[in-house]
Amino acid sequence: MNKPLVVITGASSGIGAATAKHFNNAGFPLLLLARRIEQLEGMNLENTLCRQVDVTNPEALQAAITEAEAIYGATDAIINNAGCMLLGQLHDQAPSEWQQMFAVNVQGVLHGIGAVLPAMKQRKAGTIINISSIAGRKTFPNHAAYCGTKFAVHAMSENLREEVANDGVRVVTIAPGAVETELLSHTTCDEIKQGYSEWKEEMGGAIQADDVAAAILYAYQQPQNVCIREIVIAATRQEP
């Protein structure tokens, strides 16, 4: 039997790219979304549609999903992974930085949910996987606005899970600690970047994007009547 369509936002690098490869290996047709289309296409995954979509644009997101569904059928899962981390302190962080984080990390997740949820409720099946962070459960230095976005992802996900439980739709929150990806490169303050890199070194290195991707696939591959509500995954030596 053909496997159903899985949509992944922010699939051009890091956790999203690793997740695309894991789901592709497991035989799922994919819709991969990000702004860097050349990175998506460069993975050369079969049974995969790649589209240049900024998750802050709900019309573009919806159009790409409609196009993919015409080829592969209804979306069975969306992995709302696109995100950015601009670490800083609120007394001097530029408003444009926290505006960008809230637009991508919070509103982008809402746009992803909105694009697939009505049909999932109607079909009484589907899985929404939101990539939050350990920074969605506790605070960290220089993370105030980023933590705000990830606490929001945790809250929205748990609220949504309760809203659609009786429709048979699963909502899963993934909360990684530090992962070796490009995420830190978005931060504009060199001192903060240096401190964060040293923190990762002190814990003997962060986990890899593949570790998170394997956890996402594991959660998704449970039977539809089993919902892994949250996975918190971090390096053993990550203390906070």
Ligand X SMILES: O=CCS(=O)(=O)O
Q: Which residues are catalytic?
A: 146
CB 20 within 8 A of CB 48: yes
Closest to ligand NDP by CB, 121 or 200: 200
Closest to ligand X by CB, 78 or 134: 134
Least distance between ligand X and beta carbon 133 (Å) = 3
The CA-CA-CA angle for residues 133, 136, 140, to 5°, reads 90
Beta bridge partners of residue 49, listed in sequence order:
31
The sheet carrying 170-176 orders its strands as: 48-52, 30-34, 5-9, 75-80, 127-131, 170-176, 230-233
Q: Which does 36 bind (CB under 5 to 8 A by kind): ligand NDP, ligand X, none?
A: ligand NDP
Q: Which does 140 bind (CB under 5 to 8 A by kind): ligand NDP, ligand X, none?
A: ligand X
CB 29 within 8 A of CB 3: yes
Least distance between ligand X and beta carbon 146 (Å) = 7
Q: Which does 148 bind (CB under 5 to 8 A by kind): ligand NDP, ligand X, none?
A: none
Residues 199-224 as b or e (16 or more Cβ within 10 Å = b): bbeebeebbbbbbbbebbbebbeeee
Q: Establish if 12 lies at the interface with ligand NDP (CB under 6 A).
A: yes
Residue ranges binding ligand X (CB under 6 A): 85, 133-135, 140, 177-178
Q: Which does 8 bind (CB under 5 to 8 A by kind): ligand NDP, ligand X, none?
A: none
Least distance between ligand NDP and beta carbon 1 (Å) = 30
C-alpha 119/C-alpha 76 separation (Å) is 10
Is residue 225 packed enough to be buried (19+ CB in 10 Å), middle (13-18) or exposed (0-12)? exposed
Which of 5, 7, 10, 29 binds ligand NDP (CB under 6 A)? It is 10
CB 26 within 8 A of CB 217: yes
Least distance between ligand X and beta carbon 192 (Å) = 11
For ligand NDP, the binding residues (CB under 6 A) are: 9-16, 34-36, 39, 54-56, 81-85, 104, 131, 133, 176, 178-179, 181-183, 209
